[in-house]
A = this chain, B = another copy of it.
């Protein structure tokens, strides 16, 4: 068997040297990264993944983790209306017993995601610590329409770029968590869910489609966030920031065709998290145009005047609201 090559074996100098090879040549050796800007607005986002909080080696491979660490940051950029990802800085904290191959695979995943969605590695920092942590700061350029949490308006339709719950199901499968003994899941749904959990995708063409279908060019700001903390949390964040009441039209919400029925499955759908879909609201006409152009767009409900809150149109479903989303503290 091949001897494991640990970070403490290869040493800091060699580690920095090896990591430098994943970066563009002109960025690799200096104190700061350098990017040229024009008269634009820059979007900046930061998201950290901590071992045994956000991931574990048992449930996700380092390559998938690298991909996911990039995607969760790009998702935030897109949810603000980024038209282009410039790049990322990576702050890595790793125990000295970490295998080099783990780090290499992580960077492979990072670069795969950057190749898919644009952007380069601008720089970073690497330190020892007792818990693996990947903290990424991503930079993007603001597009023509600003997407912000506080721009939803009463009367607007709440939409999402796709269905929810799959990543949560994938997480439970990967962590061998007991799901629902009474249900036998279709193989297709299992594979799709694991893929959603390990290699989540974002929708880089969302902004372009939004601009294409805009009937009123004067509207340059719409309400939007991403569903990284779950669909429910996303709607709540929009409702609170925009001071509107959200009505969820449960009957209308599309689910995966093999998604089981039942309260538990509704909970996974609304509170699951990490689906990285965009959740937003549009005037009725715009919503209709966009849904015609992009068949993945689904309707969730609508906003109305009222205290910032969420209600189900079907009152019986309001018991779902007793669920508590994932919290760190």
* Chain A residues packing against B (C-beta within 8 Å): 7-8, 10-13, 15, 29-48, 50, 53-54, 76-77, 79-80, 82, 89-91, 93, 96, 122-131, 133, 135, 137, 139-140, 142, 146, 148-150, 225-226, 241, 327-329
Whole-angstrom distance between the Cβ of A327 and the nearest chain B Cβ: 4
Contact between A142 and B34, CB atoms less than 8 A apart: yes
Give Cα A15 to B329, complex, Å. 9
Whole-angstrom distance between the Cβ of A152 and the nearest chain B Cβ: 13
User: Chain A's interface: helix, strand, loop or mixed, by majority?
Assistant: strand
Whole-angstrom distance between the Cβ of A321 and the nearest chain B Cβ: 16
> Using Cβ atoms and an 8 Å threshold, which residues of chain B touch A13?
327
Contact between B327 and A12, CB atoms less than 8 A apart: yes
Whole-angstrom distance between the Cβ of A13 and the nearest chain B Cβ: 8
Give Cα A38 to B137, complex, Å. 21
Whole-angstrom distance between the Cβ of A39 and the nearest chain B Cβ: 6
Give Cα A86 to B89, complex, Å. 17
> Using Cβ atoms and an 8 Å threshold, which residues of chain B touch A137?
44, 46, 89, 91, 137
The 10 closest A-B pairs by CB, nearest first: A37-B37, A32-B80, A137-B137, A32-B43, A128-B328, A46-B89, A12-B327, A91-B135, A31-B76, A33-B44
Contact between A31 and B225, CB atoms less than 8 A apart: yes
> Using Cβ atoms and an 8 Å threshold, which residues of chain B touch A241?
29-30
Given the interface pairs A12-B328, A135-B125, A328-B126, the reply to whether A41 lies near B34 with Cβ below 8 Å is yes
Given A31-B225, A37-B37: 18 more A-B contacts, CB < 8 Å: A11-B327, A12-B328, A30-B149, A31-B80, A32-B79, A33-B44, A34-B41, A34-B146, A36-B40, A37-B38, A38-B39, A46-B90, A48-B91, A50-B93, A50-B129, A53-B129, A54-B127, A91-B91
Contact between B34 and A37, CB atoms less than 8 A apart: no
Whole-angstrom distance between the Cβ of A106 and the nearest chain B Cβ: 15
Q: Who on chain B is nearest to A224 by CB?
A: B31
Specify which of B10, B31, B44 is in contact with A45 (CB 8 Å cutoff). Answer: B31
Whole-angstrom distance between the Cβ of A165 and the nearest chain B Cβ: 21
Whole-angstrom distance between the Cβ of A92 and the nearest chain B Cβ: 9
> Using Cβ atoms and an 8 Å threshold, which residues of chain B touch A131?
129-131
Specify which of B30, B91, B146 is in contact with A148 (CB 8 Å cutoff). Answer: B30
Give Cα A318 to B39, complex, Å. 52
Give Cα A149 to B10, complex, Å. 24
> Using Cβ atoms and an 8 Å threshold, which residues of chain B touch A125?
46-48, 135
Give Cα A132 to B166, complex, Å. 32
> Using Cβ atoms and an 8 Å threshold, which residues of chain B touch A122?
44
A-B pairs with beta carbons under 8 Å apart, 23 shown: A11-B327, A11-B329, A29-B241, A30-B150, A30-B241, A31-B45, A32-B43, A32-B82, A33-B43, A33-B45, A34-B142, A36-B41, A36-B42, A37-B40, A37-B42, A38-B38, A44-B139, A46-B89, A48-B91, A48-B93, A50-B127, A128-B329, A130-B131
